[in-house]
Amino acid sequence: MSDVINDDKIPNNVDLSSDKKLQRALVEWQPKYLAWWREMGPEGFQAHDVFLRTAISVDNAGWAHFDYVKMPDYRWGIFLADPIADRRIGFGDNFGKPVWTEVPGEHRNTLRRLIVTQGDTEPASVEQQRALGHSCPSLYDLRNLFQINVEEGRHLWAMAYLLHSHFGRDGREEAEALLDRRSGDADRPRILGAFNEPCTDWLSLFMFTFFTDRDGKFQLLALAESGFDPLARTTRFMLTEEAHHMFVGETGVGRIVRRTAELMKENDDVRRVGGIDLPTMQKYLNLWYSVSLDLFGSEISSNAASFFADGLKGRAREPSFEDHLALDGFYSLEVPGKGGTVTEEVPLRNAMNEVLRDAYVEDCQRGVDKWNEILKRAGIGDRLKLPSRHFHRRIGAYANAFCDPEGRVVSPADFERRRDEWLPSAADQAYVKSLMTKPVFAPNQMANWISPPAHGIKGYPVDFEYVRGCEG
Ligand SMILES: [Fe+2]
Ligand SMILES: [Fe+2]
């Protein structure tokens, strides 16, 4: 078990103090990070005491410490999962060879790009969510939002560490650029589409943490297989924290579903009693699912093929596959074609994005099933549903096609005409926002549109004061 060195400035388990040059570079990056956090982190809550979990080691039993902390004082640290002795590359043309502890020259640019792309999503989501504190449904939820935000900040640290420690000057420049781009900015946007979408209400936040953080989970699972061992070890530990983000999304939507089911019994028109009706929820689901599907990239991708061939990015849970070379297999892909869709046989390596997307879709379906179970138990006949993965895509084979949520190709005019039935309309968004004009700060209160959670945090009750200093 690697020890944690509580370096005065930067907690870490990578023996940072033994590498003075690297330590100096990171100590120099730290105030820039903090300046970014103060400018773009949660707006209006920097001086509050928040009951947060902080990673203090990678030990399964006791990796996290819970206490009140003001967010700018959060101990963002660098933690890599312990190395696995004699670890071998698990897939691709380098299958069976020892993993790399240094960046192989021929893969330097590609690895840097992979790390930057992952790293860019972390601060982006903090930026997207920065104003949400002012409309929180409860202190419990407010704390969960901030927990996610500080951990996305730590994930940025994880990627910045890799850039600083393995990519020399370009790495340092990329680490600075991670702090310069801004979600939704016209001139210097974040790299990936979903991370430039506004996330300004709590229904969007829960959909985001369910669907978009889950893309993160699968990207991390694929990178955790990487032959570049520091990347594999970093992402393995990030997955531990990521699980909580998806828990917030899954239970958040689930609690809205539960509350809506209750309100449906009071009134046929849920909006009249201040709830979020299921059709509106379905439209938000359609939006966040489709923009998150895009994050996996094109269905047919020579980049994905070379990431796999070179041993840089594998499949989620690569050991569960039998054939780690993927040289002879084909993937049957439905692409737009004459009169609808046609099936194309794609060499498996070129379909790796789609293979990862399959695993993602399956995981999303499990969550949707749980939400539907809540409806079923409440005696409600309506169900939520994942739309076709061809619906509302901007990347890949369907980027220029127009499909309805069932996946049927429709004309552009039809799509436009029916858009408001399928995606949140301006009126839907205004309605959802109208429910969230004020924060709920009293510890024993919950906004009307959402049910309380089943449990509080770390054994504390639901009405515990998870964020102090909100009232008065
Ligand atoms: Fe993250
Ligand atoms: Fe996350």
Q: How far is the CA of 472 from the centre of ligand 2 (A)?
A: 32
Which is nearest to 92 in space by CA: 241, 262, 225? Answer: 225
Average pLDDT over residues 289-306: 97
For residue 310, name the pLDDT band (cuts at 50, 70, 90).
very high
% of residues, the chain, pLDDT over 90: 93
Give the H/E segment covering residue 219.
helix 213-223
Q: How far is the CA of 125 from the centre of ligand 2 (A)?
A: 8
Lowest mean pLDDT among 54-58, 89-93, 257-261, 421-425: 54-58
Q: How far is the CA of 368 from the centre of ligand 1 (A)?
A: 22
Other beta carbons within 10 angstroms of residue 269's beta carbon come to: 11
The most distant pair of C-alpha atoms in the chain lies apart, rounded to whole Å, by 67
Query: Any idea what DSSP says for residue 308?
Result: H
287, pLDDT greater than 70: yes
Decide: 179 and 116 in contact? Cβ < 8 Å.
no
472, pLDDT greater than 80: no
pLDDT, tens digit, for every residue of 342-358? 999 999 999 999 999 99
Q: What is the pLDDT of residue 58?
A: 81
Calpha distance 33→386 (Å, rounded): 38
pLDDT, tens digit, for every residue of 84-110? 999 999 999 999 999 999 999 999 999
Q: What are phi and psi of 78, to 5 degrees?
A: -115, 115
Taking the CA atoms of 64, 210, 162 and 98 in sequence, report the sign of the dihedral they define: positive
Average pLDDT over residues 397-419: 95
Average pLDDT over residues 156-174: 97
Question: pTM of the entire structure?
Answer: 0.96
Q: What is the pLDDT of residue 7?
A: 62
Which is nearest to 140 in space by CA: 295, 287, 251, 290? Answer: 251
Q: How remote is the C-alpha of 430 from its chain's centroid?
A: 25
464, pLDDT greater than 70: yes
For residue 1, name the pLDDT band (cuts at 50, 70, 90).
very low
pLDDT, tens digit, for every residue of 228-265? 999 999 999 999 999 999 999 999 999 999 999 999 99
Q: What is the pLDDT of residue 153?
A: 98
Q: How far is the CA of 216 from the centre of ligand 2 (A)?
A: 7
Average pLDDT over residues 256-278: 97
Q: How far is the CA of 155 from the centre of ligand 1 (A)?
A: 5
| Cβ-proximal residues to 157 (8 Å cutoff; 6+ apart), any chain | 33, 76, 77, 78
Q: What is the pLDDT of residue 4?
A: 61
| Cβ-proximal residues to 272 (8 Å cutoff; 6+ apart), any chain | none
Residue 100 pairs in a beta bridge with 228
Which is nearest to 96 in space by CA: 82, 111, 86? Answer: 86
Calpha distance 402→340 (Å, rounded): 10
Decide: 120 and 110 in contact? Cβ < 8 Å.
no
Q: How far is the CA of 216 from the centre of ligand 1 (A)?
A: 7
| Cβ-proximal residues to 66 (8 Å cutoff; 6+ apart), any chain | 51, 52, 53, 54, 457, 458
Q: How far is the CA of 234 from the centre of ligand 1 (A)?
A: 11
Nearest bound ligand to CA 220? 1
Nearest bound ligand to CA 153? 1
Q: Tokens in use for 417?
A: 């005409």
Query: Any idea what DSSP says for residue 97?
Result: S
Residue 52 pairs in a beta bridge with 67
Residue 335 pairs in a beta bridge with 342
**CATH superfamily, region 16-468:** Ribonucleotide Reductase, subunit A (1.10.620.20)
192, pLDDT greater than 60: yes
% of residues, the chain, pLDDT over 70: 98
Domain borders along the chain are: 16-468
| Cβ-proximal residues to 451 (8 Å cutoff; 6+ apart), any chain | 255, 256, 258, 259, 262
Q: How far is the CA of 148 from the centre of ligand 1 (A)?
A: 8
Q: How far is the CA of 405 from the centre of ligand 1 (A)?
A: 29
pLDDT, tens digit, for every residue of 109-121? 999 999 999 999 9
Q: How far is the CA of 149 from the centre of ligand 1 (A)?
A: 9
Q: How far is the CA of 325 from the centre of ligand 2 (A)?
A: 30
